Structure 1
Amino acid sequence: MVSYTLPGMTEFPDLNLLFLSFYRDARDIFFDDVAIESVYGGFPGSLLCGGRNNLGEAISLGDVEKCLARYRNLGVACNVTFTNQLATSAAIERGAYGKRILSLLDEQSPDGDLPNGVILYTDAMDEYVRSTHPRLRRISSTTKQLPSVEATNREIGEFDRVVLNYNLTHDEQVISSIDHPEKLEVMANEYCTLGCPYRTEHYRATSESQIKGVPCAFECKHKPAPQAWGFLNGLIEGDVFLKNDQIRHYANDLGVGSFKIVGRGLSRYDVIDSYLYYLVKPEHWYEVRDYLIHRSYL
């Protein structure tokens, strides 16, 4: 079985909830060997968010609870991206809104063996989650950019799940050397360029802007923006993308536990096309695409 987590938990919940309802009610048009286990993303207004900015006015805690409950009722877990690189103990204490989100995340975990989770970067954030919400699944973020199999194996010993450094996506020697590949999550369609020299700077700038509550001033020097080509118009040939046959090889032969579809901050059309490619049988692509476009008011 190939298990996926979807992007945009709060960025485009209308699309995700519609797609997950479709997955529940029309399972026969999806690949037989795929499962959707979770969604991930941040909440606007929480200074603990990272990876991508989640600025703007904070939504009410009542709406946070409703968002989490809707996903729970569809049988999927929610993973919150509290990966801010400046999430020190002092920042966590200032982030009362983020701490309340964690409490709701704990309370709203779906039934079964897959609880809601927190994607983590700093030791302080990890310690806070470990000590206050031990039921939540702790996920080590790809933003750590763990450079080697040794570093990844050490991290796997400490966390419930580890998201692989995207630069190692095609390094089968590394993946086959992971001690517990069932705890590994591999990004299926990372849009960044292999070995991007600006990635660390970008993550740091995003964290600083989230803490300050101002738009990120970072501008990637790679031109044109990769997403300009569209998912099915060339991106699928990207140097860190995984195609379906590679994903099934990793899952079935190397025991990789989960795959992450990238999409936060991207065009919804690209997100839809990534869902179609990885999850839906090709003969149903156009009917599903039309359904999602018209029903989610794109």
Structure 2
Amino acid sequence: MIRLNIAGGFSKFNELRYFFKLIPEIHDICKITVYDGICSCAWNGGRINRDLPADESICQYYYDNDISIALTFTNPVIDISDPVGNEILKRFHRPGNVIISVNEYLLKYIKDEYPEYKHTRSITSFGKIDVPMSDGDFDRYNRLETMYDYIVPRCEHVFDDRFRKLDQSKYEVMLNDTCVYNCPYYGEHFKKIAEQNRTYQRPWQQASVSEMSNIEECWLSKQSDIKPTSFFNPDLEDIKTRRKYGDNYGMDLRPNQISELIEQGVSNFKLTGREMSRDQYISELRTYGYGIISAISDK
């Protein structure tokens, strides 16, 4: 069975509930996990914290429908004594739930103290990569396979010939990465986002909204130490990459690409979208929900 990990477990709950009613057959072909960053925890990464409580009625809805919950503890810098993080770990510790992380000390701590969790290595841990995949990239993936249940690979590597030589069952492939192909800001950007969650308990209230927005959205190039330039348009870069790579373009997958990955042994997929509007998010859910159904039907 395909495992599908969907963004917005708490921030997009109403939209997700609508999606599950719209396409109920998704439960017949996919084991669903939903992920989010909750309770303004300093361990969170991937996006700047919002005031997002872990509503017990939402949790119960997921458990009643055999849907697992994944927690985005992807901050690279972790204070293991953080009371909020430890309380969340206790509360969600049950078979099927998942911790998404990058800090390997946190990984060991959770494995020792909370053994029921599954573990995913976040894509946010991959900064500079080589395209095509280098020996160093390949060796890093191999090492991570020994440590994690799932690994979210950089999308630029998913259709690389060497990717097929990795353990396909370990990889959770992103269906709709919204970043630019081989973005020069990738690792730097996620580190800066994570820093806000350590610095502020309520980032959007304690700092300016414009500052947080500029950090979180596609980067203003003058903030970057890697590639300073006066203008950077990700949409234009995206169009050029599509024209260059065609079906080897791994950032926004089509049903035939999903089918190809399933055929070679990939069974875990991830759908992003926490920052999307309601209409955009539902559109992505519909597109990829039906896309997965189509990919499996074609097998």
What TM-score do the two structures reach when normalised by structure 1? 0.76
- The equivalent position to 2:86 in structure 1, one of 99, 110, 113, is 99
Q: Judging changes above 3 Å, is the alpha-carbon distance between structure 1 residues 127 and 22 closer, same or farther for their aligned structure 2 residues?
A: same
Task: Report the secondary structure of 1:50's partner residue.
Answer: coil
Q: Judging changes above 3 Å, is the alpha-carbon distance between structure 1 residues 152 and 46 closer, same or farther for their aligned structure 2 residues?
A: same
The residue aligned with 1:177 is: 165
Paired residues of 2:153 and 2:171 also in contact (CA < 8 A): yes
Separation of aligned partners in 2, 1:165 and 1:185: 10
Q: Percent identity?
A: 23
Separation of aligned partners in 2, 1:46 and 1:31: 30
The structural deviation recorded for 1:192 is 0.1
- The equivalent position to 2:57 in structure 1, one of 61, 66, 70, is 66
- The equivalent position to 2:253 in structure 1, one of 242, 265, 276, is 242
What are the within-5 Å matches in structure 2 for residues 139-158 of structure 1? Answer: 139-145=120-126, 147=129, 148-158=137-147
Separation of aligned partners in 2, 1:192 and 1:47: 24
- The equivalent position to 1:271 in structure 2, one of 264, 277, 281, is 281
What are the within-5 Å matches in structure 2 for residues 155-234 of structure 1? Answer: 155-171=144-160, 173-178=161-166, 180-213=167-200, 214-215=203-204, 216=212, 218=215, 220-221=219-220, 223-224=232-233, 226=235
The residue aligned with 2:8 is: 8
The residue aligned with 2:44 is: 49
Task: Report the secondary structure of 2:172's partner residue.
Answer: strand
Separation of aligned partners in 2, 1:167 and 1:197: 13
Task: Report the secondary structure of 1:272's partner residue.
Answer: helix
Separation of aligned partners in 2, 1:130 and 1:31: 29
Separation of aligned partners in 2, 1:201 and 1:255: 32
Letter of the structure 2 residue corresponding to residue 18 of structure 1: Y
What TM-score do the two structures reach when normalised by structure 2? 0.76
Task: Report the secondary structure of 1:280's partner residue.
Answer: helix
The residue aligned with 2:118 is: 137
Task: Report the secondary structure of 1:200's partner residue.
Answer: helix
Aligned-pair Cα RMSD in Å: 2.8
Task: Report the secondary structure of 1:92's partner residue.
Answer: coil
Separation of aligned partners in 1, 2:126 and 2:100: 14
Task: Report the secondary structure of 1:80's partner residue.
Answer: strand
The residue aligned with 2:226 is: none
Paired residues of 2:45 and 2:194 also in contact (CA < 8 A): yes
- The equivalent position to 1:123 in structure 2, one of 99, 104, 109, is 104
The residue aligned with 1:19 is: 19
Q: Judging changes above 3 Å, is the alpha-carbon distance between structure 1 residues 225 and 8 closer, same or farther for their aligned structure 2 residues?
A: farther
Say whether 1:40 aligns with 2:28. Answer: no
The structural deviation recorded for 1:149 is 2.2
Task: Report the secondary structure of 2:72's partner residue.
Answer: strand
Paired residues of 2:19 and 2:282 also in contact (CA < 8 A): no
Task: Report the secondary structure of 1:37's partner residue.
Answer: strand
Paired residues of 2:23 and 2:289 also in contact (CA < 8 A): no
Q: Judging changes above 3 Å, is the alpha-carbon distance between structure 1 residues 136 and 76 closer, same or farther for their aligned structure 2 residues?
A: same
Stretches of structure 1 lacking an aligned partner (at least 5 in a row): 110-114, 230-235, 283-298
Q: Judging changes above 3 Å, is the alpha-carbon distance between structure 1 residues 98 and 226 closer, same or farther for their aligned structure 2 residues?
A: farther
Task: Report the secondary structure of 1:151's partner residue.
Answer: helix
User: Alpha-carbon deviations, 1:79-135, whole Å to 9, x = none?
Assistant: 110001111xxx231x2122111111114x4xxxxx100001111211221111111
Letter of the structure 2 residue corresponding to residue 184 of structure 1: Y
The structural deviation recorded for 1:239 is 6.0
The structural deviation recorded for 1:223 is 4.7
Separation of aligned partners in 2, 1:267 and 1:83: 24
The residue aligned with 1:289 is: none
The structural deviation recorded for 1:174 is 2.6
Stretches of structure 2 lacking an aligned partner (at least 5 in a row): 130-136, 205-211, 221-230, 239-245, 293-299
Separation of aligned partners in 1, 2:272 and 2:109: 27
